[in-house]
Amino acid sequence: MLKNDLLLRAAKGQEVERAPVWLMRQAGRILPEYRATRAKAKNFVEFVKTPELAAEVTIQPVDILGVDAAIIFSDILVIPEAMGLPYEMIEAKGPRFPETIQTQADINKLKIAEASDLDYVMKALQLTKKNLDNRVPLIGFCGAPWTLFAYMIEGSGSKTFSKAKQFLYTHPDLSHQLLEKITQSSINYLKGQVASGADLLQIFDSWAGVLSEKMYYEFSLSYISKICDALSPLVPVTVFAKDAHYAVKKISETSCHSIGLDWTIDPLKARKEAGNKTLQGNADPCLLYASEKAIIEETHNMLRSFGKDKYICNLGHGLYPDLDKEKVKLFVDVVKEFKW
Amino acid sequence: MLKNDLLLRAAKGQEVERAPVWLMRQAGRILPEYRATRAKAKNFVEFVKTPELAAEVTIQPVDILGVDAAIIFSDILVIPEAMGLPYEMIEAKGPRFPETIQTQADINKLKIAEASDLDYVMKALQLTKKNLDNRVPLIGFCGAPWTLFAYMIEGSGSKTFSKAKQFLYTHPDLSHQLLEKITQSSINYLKGQVASGADLLQIFDSWAGVLSEKMYYEFSLSYISKICDALSPLVPVTVFAKDAHYAVKKISETSCHSIGLDWTIDPLKARKEAGNKTLQGNADPCLLYASEKAIIEETHNMLRSFGKDKYICNLGHGLYPDLDKEKVKLFVDVVKEFKW
């Protein structure tokens, strides 16, 4: 049994003594310990594929920062790769797909991934679970189908994802075919993650914000909803749709348990829209550049706005690489020590 | 007197026969005629600084696309340059500042720009005004102080503008000093634009979306408001704060005349929040990749949502470079031919 199950209780809307806290991108980026482990692999993709290394960096923030959950170290792009579309990670630039999806034939060639195609993630989860020794819950994750689709068409990151959006506008039928294949792969993948020890799942829709509201519901949320339906009977599921400010109510109508918010969303407004779903977020990552006084004050304000129950404290996006570890730890401590 | 003053009447909330239409980034990018003129200058900065060339490309979309307004071809970064911080434009990458602002001394060294420091823009406006022969109104513009600040600190474009935001968090006093200097420069610049023939002004806050709501009001909208107060007694002023979805009501409380919306904002919701201010926008630029049928249908839906009055039809962001000129012209024609 978990020694600290605050996250699971908060996600399910059960009573808690205090709000749990974890940080997106806590595994990696800011910790010197991470960079030391990272140096053992020849490149990012190999790093992700080595269960011992992935498990090691997954546990580091639990030891060093004292967060209330571990999130498995991996990448959302393992799914396209398992479907037959490999990616590279270009240092300081981001992901790149040497081949992209452009035609019906390209989509036909993609396989629906099974959990066994992502055995290295399953092994990393199992090893992490064992080494965590039930101290805190282990979070599994995947990218939302739209976000994966965006990379698979565009071939890399983009400010506008105009090629991926052009594909939605010009090939709506093909788009739905591809999104469906990604969705089925993601469901298989997440079921495997739960079988391998994930206690909670998060779906990251990093590029939600480039779509209009209408297109978001048609091409993104409908597929997220399918994933929630398949997984939420097993473990709590969090949906984080960055910059989809209009979608809180619609996300709350899926079978997810909690809704991640970026820092442009007002907590009180989100509470009204989210019904009885738990909320997660939403400090500006840049707050952690500020003075200790400002960090404490703003974090207290945020905690008061969200309230103790049905709340998971986090940032509104991932940690930035140049943040000071001590400031990040301060944020975690402030949440843990807050007098509710 | 203007032969077509639809834009001015719409901006002021006066009656119109139909909604006016123009397109952000209409001068440049998609037109082969633009690229021919562009080739006459040795680089982008020189191009912007040559009034004859700037006037030529400003008028091209009026002739070719039939839009209801011209917007002067220039760049928002002419203000930092006039203050003493020159920029470069790197092909396919975007702007870069060889020197950035980091200290009190850096801020002290900046001058408050006068309209005369931007004589080349004044000349371009005068020449455009003359050659337009009052066919349509001429729009002048500037970047919002926060957006210029973001480039001046960060030194280039960025997904997060984390350095610029770090400066806000760690040096709020210096930030306000710099924003005030940019604001004063922008007011001088826009007054000069009006004196040189601008019939309407737009303030582009391209990087509004990276700030939290609270920081947006403190570090951005307060300065935009000062600019509106100085200019709106002279000509109509439009504020376009991209991705500041929460701010429509607060923007409507400034002395601006109209509010630009990106494509993630629901027209009906914006109407409720905008009081009696005119709205501008907000088609997804990627809609113009779609079939003719889809363009016509979605544009009609948008027009019906906004309604004829207090409305300026536009995209929700600038045109993308690879859009088909014929599709863009179709969008303009659909708006002009709509039966209200």
pLDDT, tens digit (0-9, with 9 covering 90-100), for A146-157: 999 999 999 999
What pLDDT shows up at residue B229? Answer: 99
| pLDDT at residue A28 is higher than 90 | no
CA atoms within 13 A on the CB side of A65: 36
Residue B28 has pLDDT above 90, yes or no: no
Q: How far is B215 from chain A (nearest CA, A)?
A: 10
- Indicate yes or no: CB of B212 within 8 angstroms of CB of A264: yes
CB-based contact B319:B27 (threshold 8 Å): no
CA distance B235 to chain A (A): 32
In contact, A72 and A139? CB cutoff 8 Å: yes
Contact A79, A119 (CB under 8 A): no
Rounded to an integer, the average pLDDT of B105-125 is 98
Judge: B264–A287 Cβ closer than 8 Å, yes or no.
no
Beta strands in chain A (DSSP E): 70-71, 88-90, 94-96, 138-143, 200-205, 237-241, 258-260, 278-283, 311-315
The SS3 call for residue B56 is helix
pLDDT of A17 reads 97
**Joined tokens for residue B128:** 């455009």
- Mutation for B interface: A24, A153, A169, A265, most B CBs within 10 A: A169
The residue-averaged pLDDT of A169-185 equals: 98
A18 is catalytic: no
Residue A91 has a pLDDT of: 85
pLDDT tens per residue, range A77-108 = 999 999 999 999 998 889 999 999 999 999 99
The pLDDT value given to residue B279? 98
Give the minimum alpha-carbon distance from B142 to chain A in angstroms, rounded to a whole number.
22
| List of chain B residues whose C-beta atoms are within 8 Å of the C-beta of residue A322 | 162
Smallest CA–CA distance, residue A167 to chain B, in Å, is 9
Q: Which alpha helices (H) appear in chain B, and where do they start and end?
A: 6-11, 32-38, 44-48, 51-64, 78-83, 104-109, 119-132, 145-154, 162-170, 172-195, 213-216, 222-231, 248-252, 267-273, 292-306, 325-337
Half-sphere exposure in the Cβ direction for A301 (13 Å, CA): 12
Q: Which of A159, A246, A289 sits opposite B264 (nearest CB)?
A: A246
Residue B91 has pLDDT above 90, yes or no: no
Collapse the DSSP code of A90 into the 3-class scheme (helix H, G, I; strand E, B; otherwise coil) and give the result.
Answer: strand
Q: What integer pLDDT is reported at residue B248 of this predicted model?
A: 98
CB A141 within 8 A of CB A201: yes
Residues B249, B273: contact at Cβ < 8 Å? yes
What domains lie within chain A, and their CATH numbers? Answer: 6-256 (3.20.20.210)
Map residue A96 onto helix, strand or coil: strand
**How far B172 CA lies from chain A's nearest CA (Å)?**
10
Helices (runs of H) and strands (runs of E) counted in chain B: 16, 9
- A29 is known as an active-site residue: yes
Q: Which residue of B has its CA nearest to A284?
A: B212
Q: Name the closest residue on chain A to residue B216, using Cα atoms.
A: A264
The residue with tokens 């709350």 is: A252
Indicate yes or no: CB of B209 within 8 angstroms of CB of A243. Answer: yes
Touching check for A170 and chain B: CB below 8 Å?
yes
| Unique residue bearing structure tokens 């004063």 | B184
In the predicted model, is pLDDT for residue A133 greater than 90? Answer: yes
Q: Is A151 an annotated catalytic residue?
A: yes
Q: Residue range B127-140: average pLDDT? A: 98
Contact flag A289-B166 (C-beta cutoff 8 Å): yes
Tell me how far apart the alpha carbons of residues B216 and B223 are, in angstroms, rounded to a whole number: 10
A209 touches chain B (CB under 8 A): yes
Question: Percent of chain A at pLDDT above 70?
Answer: 100
Interval A249-291: pLDDT, tens: 999 999 999 999 999 999 999 999 999 999 999 999 999 999 9
Question: Which of B151, B189, B223, B311 is the catalytic position?
Answer: B151
Q: In which band, very low, low, confident or very high, does the pLDDT at A246 lie, cut at 50, 70 and 90?
A: very high
Number of Cα atoms under 13 Å in the Cβ half of residue A177: 16
pLDDT value for B92: 83
Rounded to an integer, the average pLDDT of B160-178 is 98
Q: Which of these is catalytic: A5, A34, A68, A75?
A: A75
Q: Examine the residue annotation and report whether B217 is marked as an active-site residue of this protein.
A: no
Mean of all residue pLDDT scores within chain A: 97
According to the model, what pLDDT value does residue B29 have? 81
pLDDT tens string B263-300: 999 999 999 999 999 999 999 999 999 999 999 999 99
CB spacing of A266 vs B284 below 8 angstroms: no
- Amino acid in the structure at residue A49: K
Taking only the tens place, the pLDDT of each residue in B3-17 is: 999 999 999 999 999
ipTM: 0.95
Once rounded to an integer, what is the mean pLDDT over residues A216-229?
A: 98
- What is the spatial distance between Cα A245 and Cα A265, in angstroms, rounded to a whole number? 7
Has A135 been annotated as catalytic?
A: no
- Written in H, E and C, the secondary structure of chain A is CCCCCHHHHHHCCCCCCCCCECCCCCCCCCCHHHHHHHCCCCCHHHHHCCHHHHHHHHHHHHHHCCCCCEECCCCCCHHHHHHCCCCEEECCCEEECCCCCCCHHHHHHCCCCCHHHHHHHHHHHHHHHHHHCCCCCEEEEEECHHHHHHHHHHCECCCCCHHHHHHHHHCHHHHHHHHHHHHHHHHHHHHHHHHCCCCEEEEEECCHHHCCHHHHHHHHHHHHHHHHHHHCCCCCEEEEECCCHHHHHHHHCCCCCEEECCCCCCHHHHHHHCCCCEEEEEECHHHHHCCHHHHHHHHHHHHHHHCCCCEEEEECCCCCCCCCHHHHHHHHHHHHHCCC
Which one of the listed residues B5, B9, B18, B25 is annotated catalytic? B25
